[in-house]
Structure 1
Amino acid sequence: RDLLHYNLQSVRAYLLKEEFQQLWEYDSPTWAGKFLDQWCTQVMRSRIEPMKKFARTIRGHRELILNYFRARKQFSSGVIEGLNNKAKVTMRKAYGFRTFRMTEIALYHALGKLPEPELTHSFY
């Protein structure tokens, strides 16, 4: 309570961060959007530059964040985790490739189950 009287930027930033956690309690994308708009406006008036930078990022990705509320409990995160793991393994296997383009092609083949091209050299 004593810290609140000093009106320090760190205390205000902490309170704004804690208030942001309320976003995840909403069920409706409409109400979540209203909360985001109100919270971003409050942060932009706070004169705390790192928080303002975060609020600008949130505003830029607003619709993507609201997709979370639109699709809540309709998709399992296991599918996404599986794809992320498959991408990591593929990039790990592609460690020796000389260009990013080759790594990109390897990712397309692994994640899209595309047929792999015939090799020009035989390794047997």
Structure 2
Amino acid sequence: IEPMKKFARTVRAHRELILNYFRARKQFSSGVVEGLNNKAKVTMRKSYGFRTFRATEIALYHALGNLPEPSSTHTFS
């Protein structure tokens, strides 16, 4: 019975947030959030070869923020 009590306390603690879901039903689309989440996952998948998390973090900033790529010191012909 203790797990049920814990669940009831959790629902009581988050009552307003749960009710907000029902109040705003179909007024907002989660498509934007899903798109950002997908873009982040793709960027993380591309960055598996990076040695540090900092490099992955920078890649995420560039992908999600549409930041310009830094100029390269090398030229590719």
Q: Normalized against structure 2, the TM-score is what?
A: 0.65
Letter in structure 1 aligned against 2:3: I
Partners of 1:118 and 1:70 lie apart in 2 by 49
The answer for the alignment partner of 2:3 in structure 1 is 48
Partners of 2:50 and 2:2 lie apart in 1 by 47
* Structure 2 CA distance for partners of 1:111 and 1:57, relative to 1, 3 Å: farther
- Consecutive unaligned residues in structure 2, runs of 5 or more: none
Max radius of gyration: which structure? 1
Paired residue total:
74
The answer for the alignment partner of 1:112 in structure 2 is 65
Task: Answer 1 or 2: higher relative contact order, Cα 8 Å, separation at least 6.
Answer: 2
- Pairwise CA RMSD: 2.8
Q: Normalized against structure 1, the TM-score is what?
A: 0.45
Runs of 4+ in 1 over 4 A off after TM superposition: 54-58, 63-67
- Consecutive unaligned residues in structure 1, runs of 5 or more: 1-45
